[in-house]
Amino acid sequence: MTWEETRDFLNFKVEQYNTPTFIEDDPIQIPHSFTKKEDIEIMGFLVATIAWGNRKSILKSGERLIQIFGNSPYDFVMEYTQDKEAYFDGFVHRTFNSIDLTCFVESLQNIYANHEGLEFLFTKYATKDSLQPAIHEFKKIFFELPHPKRTQKHISDPHKNSAAKRINMFLRWMVRKDNKGVDFGLWNQINPSQLSCPLDVHSGNIARKLGVLHRKQNDAKAVTELDAALRKMDPKDPVKYDFALFGLGVYNEL
């Protein structure tokens, strides 16, 4: 296909996949259980963090988190004290366990209490055309409290050449605004043009088949290359193409 044909094909697939039916078996279903901004942010961040592996398993773990938080994530986080640590006993999703969850809740409490919240932090460190430096700075602040070293692996760092797929996905959820019913568009100080594609094995393989990505590794350099191609297709909303690339890959349509 020509470049124009590829763009038009991806635009068509965006329209096909970017609908409320996408939510039914996607991790974004979990934050869609809430209406309060902070509840959506917290559940979106946590579920995005554990979003690897079988999607049914991710949803099950997300529902368990809702139960732990008593259906009020923000209130639970802000009222959390160490005597509530037993609430997390037995929680595990792949390598993310109760120790990690304790650290995450304490760090989220610190961010909302002392750093004006998740949106403020990412906005503060965003550059004109990227949120990747903001992810790097966010990770440093997230782990400024005493924490187990093992927990650091659950937040990726683009400055260490990670594609940071899960946190880029979370940022897509929070920032994109299109009234399609999938992404929330809660954050008003960051433009969709600053987002990067949540690159994983599915989206990466499809992007290579379509000739919009040539780097073989799914790393930060590949994200930069893919961003350039997608921003050429739609400078204002390049990450809408995540729906097309991911959908084509996961449903074996190409």
Q: Using one digit for the tens of pLDDT, what is the confidence trace for 75-87?
A: 999 999 999 999 9
pTM: 0.96
| DSSP single-letter state for residue 219 | B
Identify whether the C-beta of residue 63 lies closer than 8 Å to the C-beta of residue 30.
yes
Comparing CA positions, the residue from 46, 127, 35 lying closest to residue 72 is 35
Overall average pLDDT of the 45-67 stretch: 95
- Looking at residue 228, its amino acid is A
Helical axes 98-114 vs 132-142, angle rounded to 10°: 100
Identify whether the C-beta of residue 162 lies closer than 8 Å to the C-beta of residue 194.
no
Identify whether the C-beta of residue 36 lies closer than 8 Å to the C-beta of residue 195.
no
Q: How far apart are CA 177 and CA 220, in angstroms?
A: 25
The domains of the chain are located at 3-250
Give the tokens for residue 201.
């094995």
User: pLDDT of 18-38, one tens digit each?
Assistant: 999 989 889 999 999 999 999
- Looking at residue 184, its amino acid is F
